[in-house]
């Protein structure tokens, strides 16, 4: 199973801590390394990373990480990384074989969430999105979250940052099929800017976008210094195997998820 990690954006809200969001450390380890280690625990055997901002630094780190972890890591560089994230998906999907785990470079997850996406996603949908119904969780930024409205079958009805009603938060982890990139292209052809959510909405119109409820599992979007601090507090309790393997400091106290 391939994983596709979107790591091209600037990450201005985290700029006070680091000039490269994917290389920002959590518990002393770059976020993207933790992401790849969690994906490997879930069963991923090859990783494609779409780069853009600070691409030389990120790709140099990934080359060293590939050797250290013994996993193929394939960089795909965007010439214009200011475009919406769906353009990164289109570029990266060309290097993935079959279905793939799709992750955002600034998100961290319990490995169980990723494993469940791989093993439990329905075969008759174009993608499955991990969702969190704990919309008041202190680990979710209500100002930046992407919200999801789900029907009684668990299929996505609508998705976006400004939709009027919603049931859950988009966790930023997907099991994607080769249907996703053409759906994003279709959204662009209709006049949309090309975000991932716009491509998901195209699939949702045809009942092709499923969801996986993560229940009480842990995840976090590290988008600014506040959520970086929460990641530092909570990650040791949820990424323990990866951190111990690296030899990182795992002291800390958990906060409610």
Residue 78 lies in a domain: yes
CA angle 212, 216, 220 (to 5 degrees): 80
Quick one: which of 195, 161, 173, 220 has its CA closest to 24? 220
Check: CB of residue 214 under 8 Å from CB of residue 130.
yes
What is the model's pLDDT at position 251?
52
Q: What does the mean pLDDT of the chain come to?
A: 93
Average pLDDT of the segment spanning 215-221: 97
Query: What percentage of the chain has pLDDT greater than the value 90?
Result: 87
pTM value is 0.94
User: CB under 8 Å to 247, separation ≥6 — which residues?
Assistant: none
Average pLDDT of the segment spanning 238-250: 74
What is the model's pLDDT at position 257?
39
User: In the structure encoding, which two tokens stand for residue 36, read together?
Assistant: 């790849």
Residue 164: phi and psi, rounded to 5, are -70, -35
What is the model's pLDDT at position 243?
79
Residue 256 lies in a domain: no
Quick one: which of 143, 135, 145, 140 has its CA closest to 234? 140
What is the model's pLDDT at position 10?
82
Residue 255 lies in a domain: no
HSE toward the beta carbon, residue 194, CA cutoff 13 A? 16
Average pLDDT of the segment spanning 112-116: 98
Domain with 103, as residue range(s), is 2-246
Average pLDDT of the segment spanning 153-170: 97
254 — pLDDT class (breaks 50, 70, 90): very low
What is the model's pLDDT at position 241?
80
Residue 253 lies in a domain: no
Average pLDDT of the segment spanning 168-182: 98
Average pLDDT of the segment spanning 32-44: 97
Residue 147 lies in a domain: yes
Residue 232 lies in a domain: yes
What is the model's pLDDT at position 59?
98
Check: CB of residue 89 under 8 Å from CB of residue 196.
yes
What is the model's pLDDT at position 242?
78
Looking at the structure of the chain, the number of domains it has is 1
Residue 162 lies in a domain: yes
Burial per residue of 113-130, b for 16 or more beta-carbon CB atoms within 10 angstroms, e otherwise: bbbbbbeebeeebbbbbb
What is the model's pLDDT at position 249?
53
């Amino acid at each position: 199973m391939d994983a596709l990690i979107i790591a091209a954006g600037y990450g201005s809200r985290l700029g006070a801590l680091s000039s490269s969001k994917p290389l920002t450390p959590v518990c002393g380890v770059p976020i993207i390394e933790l992401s790849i280690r969690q994906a490997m625990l879930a069963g991923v055997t090859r990783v494609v990373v779409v780069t853009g901002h600070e691409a030389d630094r990120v790709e140099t780190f990934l080359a060293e990480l590939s050797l250290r972890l013994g996993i193929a890591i394939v960089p795909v560089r965007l010439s214009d990384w200011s475009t919406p994230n769906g353009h990164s998906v289109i570029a990266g999907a060309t290097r993935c074989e079959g279905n793939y785990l799709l992750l955002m470079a600034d998100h961290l997850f319990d490995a169980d969430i990723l494993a469940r996406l791989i093993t439990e996603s329905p075969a008759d949908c174009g993608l499955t999105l991990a969702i969190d119904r704990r919309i008041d969780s202190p680990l979710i930024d209500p100002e930046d979250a992407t919200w999801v409205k789900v029907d009684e079958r668990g299929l996505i009805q609508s998705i976006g940052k400004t939709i009027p009603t919603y049931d859950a938060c988009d966790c930023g982890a997907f099991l994607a099929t080769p249907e996703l990139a053409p759906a994003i292209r279709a959204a662009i052809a209709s006049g949309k800017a090309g975000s991932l959510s716009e491509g998901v909405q195209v699939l949702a119109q045809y009942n092709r976008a499923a969801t996986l409820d993560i229940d009480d599992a842990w995840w976090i979007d590290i988008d600014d210094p506040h959520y970086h601090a929460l990641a530092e507090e909570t990650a040791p309790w949820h990424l323990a195997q990866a951190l111990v393997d690296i030899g990182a400091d795992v002291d800390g106290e958990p906060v409610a998820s």
